[in-house]
Structure 1
Amino acid sequence: MLSTIFKRHHLSVITYEEITSGFSMTQKYLLTTHEKQYILKIYPLATFERIQQQRSFLSQHQKNHVHCQLPIFYDTLEQWCYTISEYLAGKSLDRLLPCLSQEKQYELGMQAGQELQKIHLLACPNLHFNWYQARLRKYQQKKEQCAKLGLNFHQKTAIETFIDKHFHLLKESAVCFQHDDFHPQNLLYDNQKIIVLDFDSFDWGDPWEEFFKLPKYTVSVSQAFANGQLMGYFEGNIPQNFWKKYHLFVALNCYASQIGGYQSGNLASVQLRTKKIIQTHYFSNQPPQWFQQKPTS
């Protein structure tokens, strides 16, 4: 199949190697030609319509000055579809950040927050989409699935009480484009700017839902970056009602995390991470323990 793709797009590939890093189950390959390198991503055929939509949305993001990349080619082949993009030789932030000063980590977090803010400029094209009801169904389904699998986590009863008491906050949510996987591993630093990668999980919903990824993936890489991301996104002025909603999204994700851990055979470490997150959050309108407005040296 790979050779057919190469010939179709006149790519004189010298070598190719599979990319196994990251959390995605998508097949990825690094292609090397005499002139350039490319990234080939292969998906099930059923996702082709979504791939086409994603390309359209990426084009709109670029018009909004988001630093992101459009695929050069996308097509179908037998029971698969695929995209080919130019390889970017920058540094992934999950590897770069620990090598930088706290001040530089914070600065890059500010840049990342500004990119996320621009991503959220794209409003949902379906004006009749009832996101509140969709999010409620999603929570109920995840909760039921956890119960069927016998999955528990730290302070589960208290978390459910908090969710039930505060879910109404989502009734007035704005609905916009969500990257839905925004964290250092999907951010590249290249030529003095941050480039946002991997929009494959895109969705529509409350823009602030993106921030539950901070304690889940980002804080363990760089607390200063996480702080900077928030401050950059909100231009230094976090709204008074942000933290309660943020805690609600952190609480809601606890269920999906357990299911993901169970399915990947990684439940024990996921439950430890969930416990740490819960222990460092107040589930109120106060910021979590990891948050500081300015980086510490």
Structure 2
Amino acid sequence: MLKNHQTKQHQGESMIDVIRDIPNTDTFAKTDIINKGWSDDKKYCITTIDGEKRLLRVSDIAEYENKKHEFELMKRFALTGIKMSQPLDFGVCNKGKNVYQLLTWCEGEEAKERLPSLSEQAQYEFGRQAGQMLKTMQAVESHPPSADWATIYGGKVKKYIEDYHACGETLFGGELLLAFINQHISCLQQRPMSLLHADFQSDNMVISPQNELYVIDFQGSGLVDPYYALTGAMVTAEVSPPFAIGQLCSYFGGDVPADFWTLNAFYMAAESIHAFTVALTLGKEEVDYSNEMMQTMLAWFDHLNTLVPSWFSAKAYSGRFWG
């Protein structure tokens, strides 16, 4: 599922206690830790006595309602037939101290690792698949434009800005981002909301040995502005512009509307401010990455003098790849 995850064999009573109450643990032949990602979840690659692999996610019991909601969303998405990590079982373990999710294992390479080695044509085609995945998920539950999203996300943006001012550190281009956010906050008004994967980018996708694209890690998924879900394409563009272009062109059926670019820039600005304050709690490496990513993105948008990123050329790419 994750190409470069670090694994080690579990030892000691603590691991045994954590999984003891999970049904059918007698079929677990091997349990390896997955040390990757920002999540607080404990993640394990389970190999059964039949040689099948499973993904086990274990969270604190305080996350029970959130994890139950997440699991139910995954079940709804799975019914659409999209290629994804399938939900198998959910419950409480470790004498009521933890909650677990058991999912199918998606064999393959993390998309962000695989994409750069592929032809531009192949990258673009995988992007088109991703765009259609979002369209399929969006059909599960959608709500018409209303003030709800402005209330929900506007509240988050306010907290992001407060946290940034309180952190005492400066993100590269931070003042420019804050000015853009304040100038364009009204763009959140009257937005539709759909049930979607909230972090839909190449870190959370796997390309299988059969060259099929799978989506994984549904944490934080829920009702969001569809344009918000599409901002993951900006993250993917760092490793594969053709994929990002394919995703956007496929989702919109061709031309990308102007209002998307405004909202996309707004979301990127707000989420970059938030990511920086989170990075400060994780260490220098993450802080450096946040600043480097910000320099890259500001170059794409000519320091927000244009809202269409420099790598996007729908006309050029559609001429080469559509058909």
TM over 0.5: yes
Shift of 1:224: 1.1
Cα distance in 2 between the residues matched to 1:237 and 1:10: 50
Normalised TM-score (structure 2): 0.83
Residues 61-110 of structure 1: CA deviation (Å, up to 9, x unaligned): 23333333332121112211011122222332122212211100110011
The 1:66/1:284 distance shift into structure 2, 3 A limit, reads farther
SS of residue paired to 1:175 = strand
Q: Structure 1: which 5+ runs fail to align? A: none
Shift of 1:276: 1.9
1:120 and 2:138 correspond:
yes
SS of residue paired to 1:241 = helix
Cα distance in 2 between the residues matched to 1:262 and 1:238: 35
1:71: which partner in 2?
A: 87
SS of residue paired to 2:231 = helix
Cα distance in 2 between the residues matched to 1:152 and 1:75: 42
1:274: which partner in 2?
A: 294
Cα distance in 1 between the residues matched to 2:90 and 2:260: 39
Shift of 1:186: 1.2
Q: Structure 2: which 5+ runs fail to align? A: 1-13
After superposition, residues 37-48 of structure 1 pair within 5 angstroms as 37-48=53-64
1:204 and 2:219 correspond:
no
The 1:131/1:286 distance shift into structure 2, 3 A limit, reads closer
Cα distance in 2 between the residues matched to 1:193 and 1:235: 21
Identity over aligned pairs, percent: 21
The 1:9/1:2 distance shift into structure 2, 3 A limit, reads farther
SS of residue paired to 2:239 = coil
Cα distance in 1 between the residues matched to 2:313 and 2:146: 39
Shift of 1:147: 0.9
Shift of 1:170: 1.0
SS of residue paired to 2:258 = coil
After superposition, residues 1-297 of structure 1 pair within 5 angstroms as 2-3=15-16, 5=19, 8-11=22-25, 12-35=27-50, 36-77=52-93, 78-123=96-141, 130-190=148-208, 191-215=210-234, 217-265=235-283, 266-282=286-302, 283=304, 286-293=307-314, 294=317
Cα distance in 1 between the residues matched to 2:29 and 2:119: 39
Q: What is the count of residue pairs matched by the alignment?
A: 296
One-letter identity of the residue aligned with 1:31? I
One-letter identity of the residue aligned with 2:262? K
Contact 1:14–1:32, Cα closer than 8 Å, also in 2: yes
Two-structure CA RMSD over aligned residues (Å): 2.5
**Structure of greater relative contact order (alpha carbons < 8 Å, 6+ residues apart):** 1
Shift of 1:6: 5.6
Normalised TM-score (structure 1): 0.89
Residues 27-46 of structure 1: CA deviation (Å, up to 9, x unaligned): 11111122112111101112
